[in-house]
């Protein structure tokens, strides 16, 4: 399975390595560095890189590459999913997953990795179990460990590992019993010059924070479950019940977890919540060009579009831009040629616009193509696919829990061509 794991920072330094079977030389990462040089951006490094004797599988998160080294044929998604689980575990343990935090807690990191993989095969990947095996670091615990020479490793085997529900520990008690679910959808889209959609798809997740006493059994039903056709579940979900009734039935893990992730790619189901009107023109004879963009909402069910950020990579021939925004602030970097406009909230009565002129290098021909516009935004209390939770019921316990559902739509890779 996984022989070794290397953690590489943005500047290309290997700052942590862990070996499970035999020690693999760091020189194997040279193939990864070559692929990194060929890729224009960190996100474009191929996730699977074959070498003469190994395969390198990597994920890039929080400005860190997590590179796994394997020697035999393994389903790549299996390894990639495990690497994402490692990142999520570090985030759960330390609050943030950064190079500084990993270096500061290097002992705990090695202890956690030792438990997550046994001889290269996944063993304990549930956060609840890991936290019983290895206590998360606190200032007090660190001081005590330094004085006494003890470690964060727990004395007893986690109760969850001995039960039929390994993701939930036994004997959980809370004074306030609550279950919160966040439906978060990310929309990826490419819009052409005329405003029609070339591609659009939604990546959605339902994240849960469940703090319930005992061993509750939950069922979650949807108004329109047929929307969910391409779905990936947490192991706690009873798949047979979902297949027959389209109801999520599960004994939840304790604390935060991802209940399911889904993908909606049918063009007719993906509504585009914002539009951009643009007029970007460069003249042949003149060293001046015109730049006008207006952002507006559509199909948002009356919800406010907020956190709007517009960015555009201008052509190399652009020297400077003199622009006036109707709201927000804008910055143009004449070195990188990147224009950024922080719009904020969109008021439908007074649409935000950015207008002005573009200065081009004298004597150069006009740019071959117009720049593309990238968009970031957030819409609270709206799932753009139309997914709606119908009801959440609890069985197996007598008390009445507090329940809450929140929806959010945000932009993933949202691009408008001009």
Q: What's the pLDDT tens digit per position in 284-314?
A: 777 888 999 999 999 888 899 999 999 999 9
Rounded to a whole number of angstroms, the CA Rg of the chain reads 25
Q: How confident is the model at residue 156 (pLDDT cuts 50, 70, 90)?
A: low
Residue 155 pLDDT level (bands cut at 50, 70, 90): low
From 21-30, 45-54, 118-127, 363-372, the region with the lowest mean pLDDT: 363-372
Residue percentage of the chain with pLDDT more than 70? 94
Is pLDDT above 80 for 152? Answer: no
Please answer whether residues 291 and 349 qualify as being in contact, where contact means their C-beta atoms are separated by less than 8 angstroms: no
Q: What is the pLDDT of residue 267?
A: 67
DSSP per residue, 76-98: HHHHHHHHHHHHHHHHHHHSS--
Distances 304 to 14, 380, 408 between C-alpha atoms, Å:
44, 7, 11
CA 22 to each of CA 4, 67, 286, 387: distance values in angstroms, whole numbers, following the listed order:
8, 16, 65, 48
Please determine, for residue 326, whether its predicted confidence score (pLDDT) is greater than 70: yes
CA distance 223 to 90: 35
What number is the average pLDDT over the span 334-354? 93
Q: What's the per-residue H, E or C state across 23-36? A: CCCHHHHHHHHHHH
Q: Are strands 230-233 and 305-313 parallel, antiparallel or unpaired?
A: unpaired
Confidence (pLDDT) at 307: 95
pLDDT at 174 over 60: yes
**What average pLDDT does this structure show over 270-280?**
92
Q: Cα separation of 318 and 392, whole Å?
A: 56
In which band, very low, low, confident or very high, does the pLDDT at 324 lie, cut at 50, 70 and 90? very high
* pLDDT tens, position by position, 102-135: 999 999 999 999 999 999 899 888 887 888 888 8
Beta strands (DSSP E) in 243-383 are 247-250, 255-264, 274-282, 288-297, 305-313, 318-325, 329-333, 338-344, 353-360, 372-380
């Amino acid at each position: 399975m996984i022989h070794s794991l290397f953690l590489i920072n943005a500047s290309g330094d290997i700052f942590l390595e862990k070996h499970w079977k035999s020690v693999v030389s760091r020189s194997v990462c040279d193939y990864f560095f070559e692929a990194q040089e060929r890729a224009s951006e960190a996100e474009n490094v191929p996730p699977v890189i074959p070498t003469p004797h190994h395969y390198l599988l990597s994920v890039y998160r929080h400005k860190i590459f997590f590179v796994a080294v394997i020697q035999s044929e393994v389903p790549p998604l299996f390894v990639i999913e495990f690497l994402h689980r490692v990142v999520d575990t570090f985030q759960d343990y330390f609050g943030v997953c950064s190079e500084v935090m990993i270096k500061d807690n290097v002992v705990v990191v090695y202890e956690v990795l030792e438990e997550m993989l046994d001889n290269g095969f996944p063993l304990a990947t549930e956060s609840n179990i890991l936290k019983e095996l290895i206590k998360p670091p606190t200032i007090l615990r660190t001081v005590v460990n330094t004085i006494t020479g003890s470690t964060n490793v727990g004395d007893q085997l986690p109760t969850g590992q001995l039960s039929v529900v390994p993701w939930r520990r036994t004997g959980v008690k809370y004074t306030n019993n609550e279950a919160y679910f966040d439906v978060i959808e990310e929309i990826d889209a490419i819009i052409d010059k005329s405003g029609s959609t070339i591609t659009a798809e939604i990546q959605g997740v339902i994240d849960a924070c469940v703090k319930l006493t005992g061993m509750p059994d939950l069922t979650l039903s949807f108004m329109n479950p047929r929307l969910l056709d391409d779905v990936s579940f947490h192991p706690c979900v009873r798949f047979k019940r979902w297949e027959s009734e389209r109801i999520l039935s599960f004994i939840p893990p304790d604390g935060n977890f991802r209940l399911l992730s889904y993908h909606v790619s049918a063009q007719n189901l993906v509504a585009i919540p914002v539009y951009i009107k643009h007029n970007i023109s460069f003249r042949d004879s003149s060293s001046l060009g015109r730049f006008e963009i207006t952002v507006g909402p559509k199909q948002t069910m009356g919800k406010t579009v907020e956190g709007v950020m517009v960015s555009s990579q201008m052509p190399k021939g652009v020297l400077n831009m003199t622009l006036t925004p109707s709201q927000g602030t804008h910055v143009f970097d004449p070195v990188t040629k990147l224009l950024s406009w922080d719009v904020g909230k969109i008021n439908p009565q007074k649409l935000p616009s950015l207008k002005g002129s573009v200065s081009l290098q004298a004597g150069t021909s006009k740019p071959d193509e117009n720049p593309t516009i990238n968009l970031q935004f957030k819409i609270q209390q709206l799932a753009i696919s139309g997914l709606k939770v119908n009801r959440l019921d609890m069985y197996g316990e007598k008390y009445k829990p507090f329940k809450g559902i929140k929806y959010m739509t945000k932009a993933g890779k949202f691009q408008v061509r001009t």
